[in-house]
Structure 1
Amino acid sequence: MLELTCPIELQRPPLLHFGAGTVAHLADWAHSRDYKQPFIVADPINAARLDQLGLGDIRCFGDVTAEPDTVMLERAVAAAAGADLVIGFGGGSAMDLAKLVAVMVGRTLRLEEISGPNRAPEREVGLAQIPTTAGTGSEVGTRALITNPKTFAKIATESVHMLADIAIIDPALTQSVPPFVTAATGVDAMAHCVESYTSKRAHPLIDGYALQGIELVGKYLKRAVDDGSDTEARAGMALASFYGGVCLGPVNTTAGHAVSYPLARYKIPHGIANALIFPHVLAANAQAAADKTARIGAALGFETGTSQQVLDGAMDFCRALGLDMRLRAHGVPKDDLADMAKDAHGIRRLLDWNPVDLSVEEILAIYERAW
């Protein structure tokens, strides 16, 4: 963990609206900026409710699916031609795609020219982000992940130019999210907070956000899963997701995400993949981050005296949300685990910051226990 005196930079959108009904601010904001050609990036569900944005008849790329790939990005950029404002309206997939569309539209750029840190050019269009799930926190971040359709590897792009001009977090937009998706995205939000909190580059500036996010998940996620109309629980989870997004910028995730990424080849949604791996990595890191693990356990309601207690408690927490925690139940073949471990071990941008240096063999053991 970094010392309090260590420099750190925290980037957030200059304008943030939070609370039920705040989506109504979008139209006034867009009009005040004199945007004439707004363009929506959304999944099919949200593309069917564009009227809630108050922008009238508006162009939309409404084909976003989970784990968007480079082919989808090319289609979205082409569809956005002529736009002066890009609006991400959906979960993390739609918002990540919107970030890339905003820096690529009107330009002859390929993703490989801007991927990695600080290579994306300055935007020539506006960018607004409106989450409809409580999970990724992508609305307040500078990072976007796109999948290579051939290798299923995640291509990360990070730039301050992908930071939204405005983020509107309206918990009412999440009330229609079904229980299974609520659980998966909620664990994703928690994983962002937990991994940032226990990272080697964890920082006191970020720890407060991370711990509050974990506590909110412990208090509200089960309630939101059990009753989607629970407005307080939905607001609590929206705030937890926001806190997770704040953590991602200056600190980012570690082994949990690295080990979950190879599951994308089996079309397992990102939130579910994180949930399947979360208990195992938390237990693997428990002794190296004992004090913080104890606070995590207290927030989620389980004992953390031993690594086995951590594993059992975290598994019980996820199972109580209705999640089947076996990799084999999600179509992962046991014969592929060794190759997955090698792939995960290669994601050094995340694993190098994990509190424990996990070998290929140790990652394979995690997969085998999860299987």
Structure 2
Amino acid sequence: MTKTITGNWGFPTKVWSGPGRIKELGKACGELGIKRPLLVTDEGLKDLPIVKNAMAVLADCGCAAALYADVRGNPVQSNVDNGVAAYKAHGADGVVAFGGGSGLDVGKAIAFMVGQTRPIWDFEDIGDWWTRADADAIAPIVAVPTTSGTGSEVGRASVVTHPDTHEKKIIFHPRMLPGVVISDPELTVGLPAKVTAATGIDAYVHCFEAFCAPGFHPMADGIALEGMRLIQTALPRAYDDGKDIEARADMLAAASMGATAFQKGLGGVHAISHAVGATYDTHHGLTNGIVLPHMMRKNEAAIADRMPILARTLGLAKQDFSGVLDWTLQFRERLGIPDTLGEIGVPADRADYIGELAERDPSAGTNPQKLSAAEYADVFRASVG
């Protein structure tokens, strides 16, 4: 029996999944009342056929679209500010957030900020700061992921680096959740193997940290477990054969599942990764993949009781912490993920600073155990090698 990889979902938002669904981009805009979209993507994608095709689909359906691509891999405030200016100059009435995590995050942030009068940092994910926003002024968003990593297409936040402190800040509002997601695996076929691995391991870490986060959230736990099960099989297949549409579809689903699951929380891997990415401009998913086993060892006492169910889900012979750790190391090696941050050019000379940033990161709040800045610095040093 052939596996079905096309479907429409209503969780956590409206998701149209399946090959060729990008042809429905105009319909998605129409459902949200968007007639003059600003398509937001990153510099690396703007000249590629998938973006040109998306712009053509919009033109064919009568949408007067403009393109904005001033987006860095680790987005900064100016990327959002310039996008807001481009939105207003075009007279746009909605955003198509198109691309990987950076394009999706900036697109969502632009849609959020176009109607606000306060600085973006006033809406950091702290307490009830989101209530400061004019919710009725947030523009509608269609999200189109082209990588299978962040899951930002089903998230209610954006990650933006502060220009003064160089910290990654999480900007949050419930209405930043896109109204329609087009999850078309054909858009991910052109991803190089290394990018497939780096973004895919990001999705895995989202699921893993959500599953290990403290607190009672069985729905998030179930989604995280199934996401990891899908990734275990689909990511090596997509890595080996980028044209494997079934594997690509499973990875898009798993990425969205990871972001849905981490409503429960993330943890120390992300706390360090955010700090490293903001300081050294590293790829977020790759950084997560490198740091993961080092943080697992640090958290062993707090997560060991969670590992047997994960090991059973993954079908591992050794169903305890060491079995999951051994599999994690083998899985990373299978995907060509480096062992250390040093291999991607990250030095250890600012370990104390990284530790301080990590301790303050919102993701640290749901690490399975509370760690000090010194302990985060130690994990970072171990990760550098």
Q: TM-score, normalised by structure 1?
A: 0.90
- Per-residue deviation, residues 22-41 of structure 1 (Å, max 9, x unmatched): 12222123235543211111
C-alpha deviation, 1:197, in angstroms:
0.6
Give runs of aligned pairs for residues 355-370 of structure 1, distance below 5 A.
Answer: 355-370=368-383
Correspondence for 1:71 among 53, 78, 83: 78
Correspondence for 1:254 among 225, 245, 267: 267
1:263 matched residue in structure 2:
276
Give runs of aligned pairs for residues 1-371 of structure 1, distance below 5 A.
Answer: 12-13=12-13, 15-48=14-47, 49-53=50-54, 54-56=57-59, 58-81=65-88, 82-116=91-125, 117-119=129-131, 120-122=133-135, 123-248=137-262, 250-264=263-277, 265-299=279-313, 310-347=324-361, 349-371=362-384
- Cα distance in 2 for residues equivalent to 1:70 and 1:33: 27
1:3 matched residue in structure 2:
none
Task: Report SS of the residue matched to 1:200.
Answer: coil
Computed over aligned residues only, the root mean square deviation of the Cα atoms, in angstroms, reads: 2.2
Are the aligned partners of 1:303 and 1:313 in contact in 2 as well (CA < 8 Å)? Answer: no
- Cα distance in 2 for residues equivalent to 1:167 and 1:76: 21
- Cα distance in 1 for residues equivalent to 2:232 and 2:216: 21
C-alpha deviation, 1:202, in angstroms:
4.7
What amino acid is aligned across from residue 135 of structure 1 in structure 2? G
Are the aligned partners of 1:283 and 1:307 in contact in 2 as well (CA < 8 Å)? Answer: no
- Cα distance in 1 for residues equivalent to 2:378 and 2:321: 14
Are the aligned partners of 1:195 and 1:253 in contact in 2 as well (CA < 8 Å)? Answer: yes
C-alpha deviation, 1:175, in angstroms:
0.8
- Per-residue deviation, residues 127-160 of structure 1 (Å, max 9, x unmatched): 1111000001111111111011333211111111
What amino acid is aligned across from residue 235 of structure 1 in structure 2? A
Are the aligned partners of 2:311 and 2:319 in contact in 1 as well (CA < 8 Å)? Answer: no
C-alpha deviation, 1:303, in angstroms:
6.4
The alpha-carbon distance between structure 1 residues 309 and 340, as it changes in their structure 2 partners (threshold 3 A), is: farther
C-alpha deviation, 1:298, in angstroms:
4.8
What are the ranges of 5 or more consecutive residues in structure 1 without an aligned counterpart?
1-9
The alpha-carbon distance between structure 1 residues 108 and 299, as it changes in their structure 2 partners (threshold 3 A), is: same
- Per-residue deviation, residues 42-65 of structure 1 (Å, max 9, x unmatched): 013432233432102621111222
Are the aligned partners of 1:196 and 1:202 in contact in 2 as well (CA < 8 Å)? Answer: no
**Larger mean Cα displacement after TM superposition, 216-225 or 356-365:** 356-365
2:3 matched residue in structure 1:
none
- Aligned residue pairs total 359
- Per-residue deviation, residues 159-178 of structure 1 (Å, max 9, x unmatched): 11211111111111111111
- Per-residue deviation, residues 252-308 of structure 1 (Å, max 9, x unmatched): 211110122221111111111111111122232233222422333455576666756
- Cα distance in 1 for residues equivalent to 2:318 and 2:352: 29
C-alpha deviation, 1:97, in angstroms:
0.9
C-alpha deviation, 1:214, in angstroms:
0.6
C-alpha deviation, 1:226, in angstroms:
1.2
Are the aligned partners of 2:154 and 2:260 in contact in 1 as well (CA < 8 Å)? Answer: yes
- Cα distance in 1 for residues equivalent to 2:333 and 2:15: 34
Are the aligned partners of 1:283 and 1:310 in contact in 2 as well (CA < 8 Å)? Answer: no
The alpha-carbon distance between structure 1 residues 91 and 303, as it changes in their structure 2 partners (threshold 3 A), is: same
What amino acid is aligned across from residue 58 of structure 2 in structure 1? L
Are the aligned partners of 1:293 and 1:304 in contact in 2 as well (CA < 8 Å)? Answer: no
C-alpha deviation, 1:319, in angstroms:
1.8
Q: TM-score, normalised by structure 2?
A: 0.87
- Cα distance in 2 for residues equivalent to 1:303 and 1:343: 38
The alpha-carbon distance between structure 1 residues 11 and 175, as it changes in their structure 2 partners (threshold 3 A), is: closer
Among all aligned residue pairs of Structure 1 and Structure 2, give the percentage whose two residues are the same amino acid: 33
Are the aligned partners of 1:134 and 1:238 in contact in 2 as well (CA < 8 Å)? Answer: yes
The alpha-carbon distance between structure 1 residues 362 and 113, as it changes in their structure 2 partners (threshold 3 A), is: closer
- Cα distance in 2 for residues equivalent to 1:306 and 1:196: 18
